[in-house]
Amino acid sequence: MDILGSVALLLAFLAAVYAFVAGIVGIVTRRPLITKSARNAGMAVFGLVIIAAACLEYFFFANDFSSAYVAEHSNRALPAYYKFAALWSGQEGSLVLWTFLLSMYAFLVLFFNRKKHPELMPYVGVVLAGTQTFFLTLNNFVASPFRMLGNMDAGGVMRLASISDGHGLNPLLQYPEMVIHPPMLYLGYTGFTVPFAFALAALLGRYPGEKWIHITRRWTMIAWCFQSVGILLGAHWAYAVLGWGGYWAWDPVENASLLPWITGTAFLHSVMMQEKRGMMKIWNVWLVFVTFMLCIMGTLLTRSGVVSSVHAFAQSSIGGWFVGFLIIIFVVCCAAYWKNRDYLRSDNQLDSLVSRESSFLFNNLVLLAACFAVLWGTLFPVLSEWVQGSKISVGPPFFNKVNIPIALFLLLLTGVGPLLAWRKTSFDALRRNFAWPLVGGVVAGVVAFIFGFRDVYSLICMILGVFVTLTIASEFFRGARVISSRDGSNIFTAVGELTMRNTRRYGGYVVHFGMVLIFIGIAGTPFNKDIQKEMSIGDTLNIGSYSILCQNFDAVNNDNYESERATLEVFKGGKSVMMLYPERRFFLASQVTETMVAVQSNPFHDLYVVYAGRSPEGGKPVIHAYLLPLVKWIWFGGIVVVLGTILALLPNRKAVLVLRPATETSWGGAISATGSAIGAVARRADAND
Amino acid sequence: MLVSAPLVASLTAPVTFAQNAPRAKKLANGLKCMCGGCEDSAGQCSHPGGSFSGPCETARGMQKDLDDRVAKNESDDAILAAYVTQYGPTVLVEPPKKGFDLLAWIMPVLLPILALVLVWYVVRNWRKKAQLAPAGGPHIDAEFLARAQREAKGDLE
């Protein structure tokens, strides 16, 4: 099976190289047959990588520990779903996952566009094949997942090692979210290859118009959505597993996932400038280039060990390859831009500073400022060490101080931008659109202050959150009222109709609302409370309005781990309201202990309880309880963001035929009905954002 | 009174440990746990994967030392300087605001301001050009354009 997997990976590499070379030859010689064969080779890569990934999975499920990768990342007692996910728990396997997802995107792009855009697709195929070639080079020659362990027998013959059990999967990864978090994040990272390929192809081929933007809009949104889900799942995993009561530590690897998300967000906004007004063409092309380069740089940070990170499980000396690839991408992008820069000239100019265009400019500026601040803080320790010779730390306080004001300004723009008109917005329109949301925001601020919000950033966040929510609601309401008065439908039906007529616009508003919810969730952080106490059976711990009574400690063991579990009864106002069971699990294969946090969540706060273990001093069990306000809003906001993105991906409801029913059976009625039918109104979808 | 410090300080790490003085706690939050096995601050160490999910031995030692130093009325600067002498500047959770490391703080503010100036300049130019004449596009072969338009039409149908 290792030979089959290795051969499949090697053939995939050769197919990718062929797709790359033949693609270039096809473009230069203008011979369609060569171009077609290059495309078919590009699609074949996916099939071959599927075979390789299936072989690796087979090793995991067959408990074949003669495979070095399986011996290192699995063991017999590991549950089946974690065996499946163990494929991407280490360097070699996670690179296979990357190649698999990249090949899947490449296959879908090449297959669905096989009869479209004949001038553009050969270039797209070459860029995709070039990227695949790089990752397959790593899979085959740098970090092969099919390295086998061997023993020399008595006769001096090398045989496959016979190992009874493996080292097991890193316990931190033995959590349901870890089964889906990496694939989601990788679907984001690899997904940004598609807009990159189209942008570079359009530039190289001087493809006229904004076609590449139209083609890649959905691909970009899909990649962005996966990236968002991946980031949030990672945050939730950190919250639920690490037992520290937080969800974001500004770890370099977390930051690496955030960087392309930020530039991707900027692109999704600025792209509208090009679609509507033919502006910011250079900017958009470079935003896509930078987003892709940040994806590669994120992978470099995760795997190279160039910066200190808790994500140490995937580090190696592979960084040099990624640096080389980054340099190649940068040189190619610069050369393509320099050669064809006249192709990117703007069609229109800015008419007014108070306009949708300028709001997009500011939006992009602020997003890029946030991106730079995160990147700068992440890489500054390396820079400082290089210049001064001594390493410094750039921890969470730095990132919070720098990024919170930027994020709040961005939240403000989320409310302001969509209400400004294209080209120019009059003062009257400004007053009409913003008066009530502003009043609502101020009232919310006063109420929040009265209820104890004494942190200035949290208070601003609440004010802006309500302001943005009201601007979004007013947008829905104004549009729905027009439809309602025309059709006589009720306002809720009209909201649905309005949304489906312009899914992109109103889906975007839903995404904005999801972001507001996330911001509000974050605004609760300064009001966190926690208490840590040594507890014996019968002892009580008080936090907020809760009393936690320790009822029991017991053991819950299985083949994979031995667990010590606390049984806690939670009282509120003297009444028993819930039972909580925080655990500590000792994983037998890896000999590592991890916490399993017990969380009781409601919209107001999370009661988050950790069984921290035996006190190093007294040997008594220690319970650490946290009361964390508004955390649930973050996860709920994430769901709303995903739903909004899905909504924005749906096609617009285009034309609706309205037939007035005949009310009379007389000739007059028949004539009237015929007239109605002839004069039926096909209502066009409102295509204007 | 409104304060901004709590959100900044606690956005990511609300863990605290029962130290004697609030000043010692604040100092512990500004120093990195130097155990080498985690990236937490000494005041907020929860040491994932450790035998005890609370402050590890190193963090507890640092917390106790800070308690003692605060009890002896040592100033914040003196305490931090002592730690920097012992471990180097990496013991501070954020870059020092002096020398080369000051750049860490300046650049995230300076660069957006420069970018803002650039955007203002670009916008002003755009507006000037808009008043003068409409901008033209690059020369594209008519036959190629017609073909692309036919394709575009086909895709939309």
Please report, for chain A, the start and end positions of each structural domain, with discontinuous segments joined by +: 527-629, 655-689
Q: CA-CA-CA-CA torsion for A635, A639, A645, A651, nearest 10 degrees? A: -170
pLDDT, position A682: 32
Distance of CA A523 to the CA centre of its chain: 21
- Are B90 and B110 part of one and the same domain? no
Specify whether B43 is located in the same domain as B65: yes
Residues B34 and B87 in one domain: yes
Asked whether residue B63 falls in the same domain as residue B137, the answer is no
pLDDT for B130: 60
- On whether residue B2 sits in a domain, the answer given is no
pLDDT number for residue A123 = 95
Contacts of B151 in chain A (CB under 8 A): 116-118, 211
Q: Which residues of chain A have pLDDT under 50?
A: 313, 655, 657, 660, 662-689
What Rg, from alpha-carbon coordinates, does chain B have? 28
B42 and B57 assigned to the same domain = yes
Helix axes A211-241, A631-649, angle to 10 degrees: 160
> What string of DSSP letters covers A546-605?
EEEEEEEEEEEE-SSEEEEEEEEEEEETTEEEEEE--EEEEETTTTEEEEE-EEEE-SSE
* pLDDT: which is higher, B155 or A584: A584
Contact A387 B17 (CB under 8 A): no
| Closest alpha carbon within chain A to B45 | A244
| Shortest CA distance from B144: residue in chain A | A208
What local confidence, expressed as pLDDT, does residue A422 receive? Answer: 66
A216 vs A224: CA distance, rounded Å: 12
SS3 of A612, please?
strand
**Cβ contact (<8 Å) for B101 and A384?**
yes
Task: Please state, in angstroms and rounded to a whole number, the distance separating the CA atoms of residues A298 and A37.
Answer: 33
Distance from CA of A535 to the nearest CA of B (A): 15
- Chain B contacts in chain A segment 465-504 (CB below 8 A): none
Interface of B with A in 111-150 (CB under 8 A): 111-112, 115-116, 119, 123, 126-127, 129-130, 134-138, 140, 144-145, 147-149
- Which among B94, B111, B139 is the end of a domain? B94
Of the residues B2, B7, B56, B85, the best mutation for testing chain A's interface (the one with the most A CB atoms within 10 Å of its CB) is B7
Note whether B38 and B85 are same-domain residues. yes
Chains A–B, number of C-beta pairs less than 8 Å apart:
241
Share in percent of chain B as helix, strand, coil (round to 5): 60, 5, 35
The verdict on B125 and B86 lying in the same domain is: no
Cα three-residue angle A657-A658-A660, rounded to 5 degrees: 145
Structure tokens given for A119: 């001038």
Is B37 inside any structural domain?
yes
Confidence (pTM): 0.86
Q: Are residues B79 and B23 located together in one domain of the fold?
A: yes
Contact A235, A245 (CB under 8 A): no
Alpha carbon distance A625, A529 (integer Å): 8
- CA angle centred on A281, ends A326 and B136, rounded to 5°: 140
Q: Which domain holds residue B44?
A: 11-94
3-state secondary structure of B52: coil
- The answer to whether the CB of B47 falls within 8 A of the CB of B59 is yes
| Partner residue opposite A345 with nearest CB, options B14, B138, B154 | B138
A247 touches chain B (CB under 8 A): yes
**B1: closest CA of chain A, how far (Å):** 7
* Cβ–Cβ contact A209 with B under 8 A: yes
Alpha-carbon torsion, ordered A342, A348, A349, A353, to 10 deg: -130
Same-domain check for residues B79 and B132: no
pLDDT of residue B14: 37
The reply to whether B5 falls in a domain is: no
Q: What's the pLDDT at A286?
A: 92
pLDDT, averaged across chain B: 76
User: Is ipTM beyond 0.90?
Assistant: no
Determine, yes or no, domain membership for B120. Answer: yes
Number of structural domains in chain B: 2
Which of B44, B74, B94 is the endpoint of a domain?
B94
Residue B99 makes CB contacts below 8 A (sequence gap 6+) with A388
B68 and B108, same domain (yes or no): no
Domain CATH code at residue B58: 1.10.8
Residue B3 lies in a domain: no
Q: Which residue of chain A is at minimal alpha-carbon distance from B16?
A: A530
Are B60 and B23 part of one and the same domain?
Answer: yes
Tokens 């955007």 locate to B119
CB A398 within 8 A of CB A332: no
- Residue of B12, B29, B33 to mutate, interface with A, max A Cβ within 10 Å: B12
Q: Is the pLDDT of residue B16 over 90?
A: no
Centre a 10 Å sphere on the Cβ of residue A397 and count the other Cβ atoms it contains. 22
Assess A70–B contact: CB distance below 8 Å, yes or no. no
The three-state secondary structure class of A318 is coil
Strand ranges for A397-489 from DSSP E: none
Chain B residue numbers touching A242 (CB-CB < 8 A): 46, 48
Task: Tell whether B31 lies on the interface with A, counting CB pairs under 8 A.
Answer: no
Tell me, yes or no, whether B131 lies in a domain: yes
Task: Note whether B33 and B78 are same-domain residues.
Answer: yes
- Judged against a pLDDT cut of 80, whether residue B104 lies above it is answered with yes
